[in-house]
Amino acid sequence: MQLHSGKRKLDLSSPKVMGILNVTPDSFSDGGHFCNIDSALKQASTMVEQGATIIDIGGESTRPGAADVALQEELDRVVPVIEKMSQNIDCWISIDSSKATVMREAVNAGAHLINDVRALQEEGALKVAVDAQVPICLMHMQGAPRSMQTAPNYENVVTEVEAFLLQRAQVCQTAGVKKENIILDLGFGFGKQLQHNFELLAATKQFVTLGYPILTGVSRKSMFGHLLNRDINERLAGSLAGALIAIQQGSQIIRVHDVAETVDIIKVLQEVNSHIL
């Protein structure tokens, strides 16, 4: 499996790490630390040195309870960082946004991939993605960030998430997105209770068999906070366990805060796998 963005190719035969770069003042686990351009660039290059292949830049917090961000505010946060990054750092740049204008301006500034937690359902987003001809990540969410954790409810979370993602992938393909440029994401923590998150994690293999690359984002999330009774800064072990469980079932892209640690567990797994006949 390979992603294509302009002249860039990304081989997914081994798992790839996507490092999280929040440029929001209110972001959920490293809020406020990377608000200016220089520190954002520094953080990005550190993550690349640690082994991140993709840097995911987000100017809208989508953690539970987060409020919407105005268009101009989001543009002001992400576009200057993407411009500088594309000039100075050799890595894939992902834009984490649901707004068509932000996606378009981000791609014009040098972003190679569109990561949309609303799966291109906002006005104009699908057209921007088709025109941009870059890989897109489609994520499942029940509800909207502000209220999604109020009463998440499913008859069968695995079949419902799968049906949604396949339907969105089909809509995108019909609109002109190439199948090989569609990534699917189960949307951990997005309108899901503890049991839903772990049911989905356990079913990762079933999603891998759909034939699309699977992106897994569990880093520092409250699914570990609740299960383990851990604060946001005490969730590394849970997050690494979650990442390894997803990778072992075939998930190709892992979205994380802790790049160095995640790269280490991937190396351990690859060494073990090299000894399996």
Residues facing 4 on adjacent strands: 9
Q: Which stretch binds ligand PT1 (CB under 6 A): 61-69, 100-108, 121-129, 267-275?
A: 61-69
- CA dist 156 and 263 (Å) reads 33
CB closer to ligand PT1 out of 62 and 181: 62
Given a contact cutoff of 8 angstroms between Cβ atoms, the answer to whether 26 and 266 are in contact is no
**CA 95 to chain CA mean position, Å:** 9
**220 vs 39, 110, 211, 235, CA distance in Å?**
21, 28, 27, 5
Q: Does 258 participate in binding ligand PT1 (rule CB under 6 A)?
A: no
- Residues 190, 200, 212, 242: which binds ligand PT1 (CB under 6 A)? 190
Work out whether 115 is an interface residue with ligand PT1 (CB under 6 A).
Answer: yes
The pattern of x and - marking residues 135 through 154 that bind ligand PT1 according to CB under 6 A reads: --x-x---------------
Burial 202-214 (b: 16+ CB within 10 A, else e): ebbeebbeeebbb
Site for ligand PT1 in 193-252 (CB under 6 A): 215, 217, 221-222
Structure-block tokens of residue 98? 């649901």
Pick out residues in 11-50 that bind ligand PT1 (CB under 6 A).
Answer: 28
Catalytic residue among 63, 220, 221, 235: 221
Choose among 38, 29, 85: nearest CA to 57: 85
Q: Which residues pair with 3 in a beta bridge?
A: 10
Minimum CB distance to ligand PT1, residue 71 (Å)? 18
Amino acid at 53: T
Which one, 110 or 225, has the nearer CB to ligand PT1?
Answer: 225
- Please identify which residue in 64, 191, 213, 238 interacts with ligand PT1, judged by CB under 6 A: 64
Specify whether 221 is catalytic: yes
Give the binding-site size for ligand PT1 (rule: CB under 6 A). Answer: 18
Look at phi and psi of residue 189 and say left if phi exceeds 0, alpha if psi is from -120 to 50, else beta.
Answer: left
Residue 114, strand partner residues: 95, 136
Q: Which is nearer to ligand PT1, 226 or 267 (CB)?
A: 226
Does position 77 bind ligand PT1 by CB under 6 A? no
Smallest separation, CB 219 to ligand PT1 (Å): 8
- Is 267 catalytic? The answer is no
Q: Which is nearer to ligand PT1, 59 or 217 (CB)?
A: 217
Q: Checking phi first, is residue 93 left (phi over 0); if not, alpha (psi -120 to 50) or beta?
A: beta
Q: Which residues pair with 56 in a beta bridge?
A: 20, 94
State which residue, 38 or 234, has the beta carbon closest to ligand PT1: 234
Residues within the interface to ligand PT1 (CB under 6 A): 28, 62-64, 96, 115, 117, 137, 139, 185, 188-190, 215, 217, 221-222, 255
Active site (catalytic) residues: 221, 255
